[in-house]
Chains A and B, each alone.
Chain A
Amino acid sequence: MPPAAETKLGYTPPDGGWGWAVVLGAFISIGFSYAFPKSLTVYFKEIQAYFSVSYSEIAWVSSVMLATMYAAGPVSSILVNRYGSRPVVMVGGLMVSSGMVLASFGTSIIHLYLCVGVIGGLGLAFNLQPSLAIVGTYFHVKRPLANGLAMTGSPVVLFTLAPLNQFLFDCFGWRGSFLILGAIVLNCCVAGALMRPVKKSVKPQPKTETPPAASEEDGARSSDFQIEENQTESRCQGCAHRFIDFSLFKHRGFLIYLIGNVVMFFGLFAPVVFLAPYARHQGIDEYSSAFLLSIFALVDMFVRPLTGLLGNTKWIRPRIQYFFSFAVFFNGVCHLLCPLAQGYVGLVLYTVVFGMAFGMLCALLFEVLMDLIGAQHFSSAVGLVTIIECGPVLLGPPISGALVDAFGDYKYMFYACGVILSACGIFFFVMHFYNYKKLDEERKQSLAAERRTSEEAVKLKMSPDDKAAYEAEG
């Protein structure tokens, strides 16, 4: 159990109670954020025929939405730091809703790019960041479980939206469907309503009682970012995190996470995108290929909370970064072995294993960031991470597509993704091994330093009493 984190928050998170309602809200918001852009592909064929455009032009709608969602991360972070999660999520829900309603009256493809892509994407960004942030404020002991449960929203909502979208399309065509989707997505406002700001009950803690002046000197010398942050917090909790905290770029853990993630995202989503086309390439019919994606989502759905539960155990929690490294490496190995899968049974097996690996990775994705940074800085951190990840997320699938086209075979793409992910897994493992060692050293140093300062404080307390006694005598 990382001990310093609790003192950083300055209050004890409830770890339950209303927290579970918040997890439900986060579940809905995160679910819509990730699943909504993917589920719109059902409408593309008809919209493509309606506006007489090529498939790549219509696919841009999803890409613009995803790109805006990631790129608007910092904006979302600033707003969350300033106003808290609830208003941001509710405004986000209203934005996506109005974007979809406006799109249903669309007269050109540009209209769709703006309404669905930009406005919708912005609204989804306002849903994603705050949801992740607020889970961190409500949970500490059970945080991996809470994160795992919240992230399960993505496959569950995708699994629900895909057939729902098909049904809406059959009944109402694309315009009516967009209108109704605008209403459905308004449920993000319900999720926002659940995100009551956490009650920050003050509990006296011996460490923070040390006079700021004395501890500041040692704190400045200490290389531990977290301890230093504790001091700055005790001076000014509200205003330090009003805007984006760019000092995160000096944080060792954050840098490891960022570098690893940026490379990882190049190879993470491409296999999901190409799973069905690969199956069809192997000669499997369209429905069975689509069914593979359903299997994937189903496995993903169950693995995420399980991973959260596992991450919460006392054996894994202290070294959760290794668990994450393992998950990344597992993904890589899974893709490297994919070309060995023969026939439909082989592909189903691959899909199940991939679903497990992907679910593990996603459940831990933000938990490990919270573990490294702490909940206070999390909203800034996640904003910075998402805007930087925007590039690989968008470029990953087209580059993989180019690989497939260049070689005429899917296996090279799987090898490439496998190599990238395995390498990232090893990178994370090695870097976190080093990071944990450094953190342990710093913790020992700071403990020693605090012991010294508390001794000095006792001495300082003693001397005025002596003086008073002396004066009283004299």
Chain B
Amino acid sequence: MSASWGKLFFQLVLLLASCGHINTKTPSPTSPSLDPISPLPSDIRRVVLKGESHTEKVELLNPVDLALECIWSGNENKSPNITGYWRKDGEEMQSIRVTVQLENDKYTLRQVFKIVSKENLGSYSCSFGDEAKADFLLAGPQIGEVRDKPIVSYVGDSVVVKCKMDEKKPKPASWNWYKANGTDKEQIFYAAEPQKYEIKNHEWVTKLVVHKLTEGDSGFYYCEGVYAVSTTMGHVELKVITFLEPLKPFIAIIVEVIVLVAAILIYEKSQSKKNSAGGNETNADQTNTPTPGDNNGPEESSSTRQRKV
């Protein structure tokens, strides 16, 4: 799958090279890592700077030769030359500082970076002098579906914490789970406590099952999807509460129901007493049904039978 994907992008680069003019004023790119003969697929990301700065997110999962290109139209005084340089995570990459010439009324800065491991990810910035800057954020894909509100469960119960990767993106090679411990993250190892934790991975979904919950199990859990060069991290909060929590509103509502039912029936009884005191004879039988439950029905039918006499 990645081979055909790579071919496609290679063709795209060739196409761009032939139709546009790629300003390679720089001598052959001296990227941090050497290896001119690489079977890696290629990709290109281009940014046209319109304002002062621009940020572009790049999602990477597999090793790739990534060409980053910045095009700037310049400012009022279009000087023929300007210094273009690259920064990685804020630190300047001295070896690839170049002088960019104005061509077709714009400056173009292009660099190919080899992305093979996690260290190669991060923030890459291209700058034209001190005036224009663009950032490329190279990172793993965003986690797909993860619950943003806390999952609530009960002491002694078990819970399933789920992380799902977007199905449009490739499956992670593996998944790791971490539990937040203060500011650190502690990895959960399946083998260490098999009665407590269970990790079930299935394609794009990973599930962490936590058994015999205690209040100490509350907190943040992190799922990490591992790809060839990047990882993706999602977090879910777990809250463990005791059964007393929902019991309070439960009892409150039950009390409300009992009060209302009693009030209605007492009202009815007082009404019927008034009626019988008023001497309404024909209704006497029916109105002697103040008490709740089964008394009403048979009395009703018996009174109708009485009428038929």
Contact = CB atoms under 8 A, between A and B. Distances in A.
A86 B257 contact: no
Nearest to A50: B160
Interface in B288-305: 289, 292-294, 296-298, 300-305
A234 B308 CA distance: 8
Contacts, number: 109
Interface residues of B, number: 47
A86 B162 contact: no
A180 B292 contact: no
Nearest to B253: A183
Interface string B116-160: 000000000000000000000000000000000111111001111
A199 B285 CA distance: 9
Given A173-B153, A182-B250, A202-B307, A190 B257 contact: yes
Contacts of B245: 172, 176
Contact of A49 (B162, B241, B287, B292): B162
B254 interface: yes
A183 B250 CA distance: 6
B257 A172 contact: no
B232 interface: no
Contact of B264 (A87, A171, A193): A193
A87 B305 contact: no
Given A179-B246, A180-B250, A186-B257, A200 B294 contact: no
Contacts of B159: 50
Contacts of B298: 83
Interface size class of A (residues with CB under 8 A): 35 or more
B301 A238 contact: yes
Given A90-B293, A179-B247, A190-B260, A184 B287 contact: no
The interface residues of chain B, by DSSP majority, are classed as: helix
A179 B307 contact: no
B257 A187 contact: yes
B258 to A, nearest CB: 9
A173 B289 contact: no
Contacts of A194: 264
Contact of A197 (B241, B265, B289): B289
Interface in A2-58: 46, 49-50, 52
Nearest to B250: A183
Contact of B304 (A52, A177, A237): A237
Given A176-B246, A186-B254, A193 B305 contact: no
Nearest to A48: B160
Interface in A178-224: 179-180, 182-184, 186-187, 189-190, 193-194, 196-197, 199-202
Contacts of B260: 187, 190, 193
A172 B162 contact: no
Given A84-B297, A176-B154, A184-B253, 5 more contacts: A194-B264, A197-B300, A199-B286, A200-B303, A238-B301
26 contacts: A49-B207, A50-B160, A82-B301, A83-B297, A86-B296, A87-B293, A172-B241, A172-B245, A175-B154, A175-B157, A176-B154, A176-B245, A179-B247, A180-B253, A183-B249, A183-B250, A186-B257, A190-B264, A193-B264, A197-B296, A199-B287, A200-B303, A200-B307, A237-B304, A237-B305, A237-B307
Top 8 A-B residue pairs of the complex, sorted by shortest distance between their CB atoms: A83-B297, A176-B246, A173-B152, A183-B253, A238-B301, A84-B297, A193-B264, A49-B160
